[in-house]
Amino acid sequence: MYMTRAHFIGRMNEIRKTTVRTGATLGANSTIVCGNTIGRFAFVGAGVVVTRDVPDHAVVYGNPARQAGWICECGHSLDNSLACQACGSNYALTPSGIDKL
């Protein structure tokens, strides 16, 4: 038996824009709930369920996603002073996450 389009419930009014910004990394099998934004150079771990916005340069893991730290544009973790030991970049806290100085 074939179902016609009339058998499906249209919920197009519930669609919300989901944004993945420049340089962000999404791990395998991660789930981004619609309407959320993944910040610039953020790192979402494998299998993570993102239920709210992820700040720029944030590292998140778990279900629901929790922030575990910060990551440099070069892909290395940042220490507590927001300095990258690999490339020497320094960062400062901003309302959207962190930004390179």
The band of 98, judged by pLDDT with boundaries at 50, 70 and 90, is very high
CA angle (96 as vertex; 94, 100 as ends), nearest 5: 55
pLDDT of residue 47: 97
Would you say residue 59 has pLDDT above 80?
Answer: yes
pTM: 0.84
Residue-wise over 41-56: b if at least 16 C-beta within 10 A, else e?
A: bbbbbeebebeebbbb
What is the second-level CATH architecture of the domain 16-100? Answer: 3 Solenoid (2.160)
Instruction: Please spell the DSSP secondary structure of 34-74, one letter per residue.
Output: TT-EEPTT-EE-TT-EE-S-B-BTEEEETTTTEEEEEB-TT
Domain spans in the chain, listed from the N-terminal domain onward: 16-100
For the stretch 32-55, pLDDT in tens is: 999 999 999 999 999 999 999 999
Q: What's the mean pLDDT in 71-76? A: 95
Q: What's the mean pLDDT in 3-30? A: 83
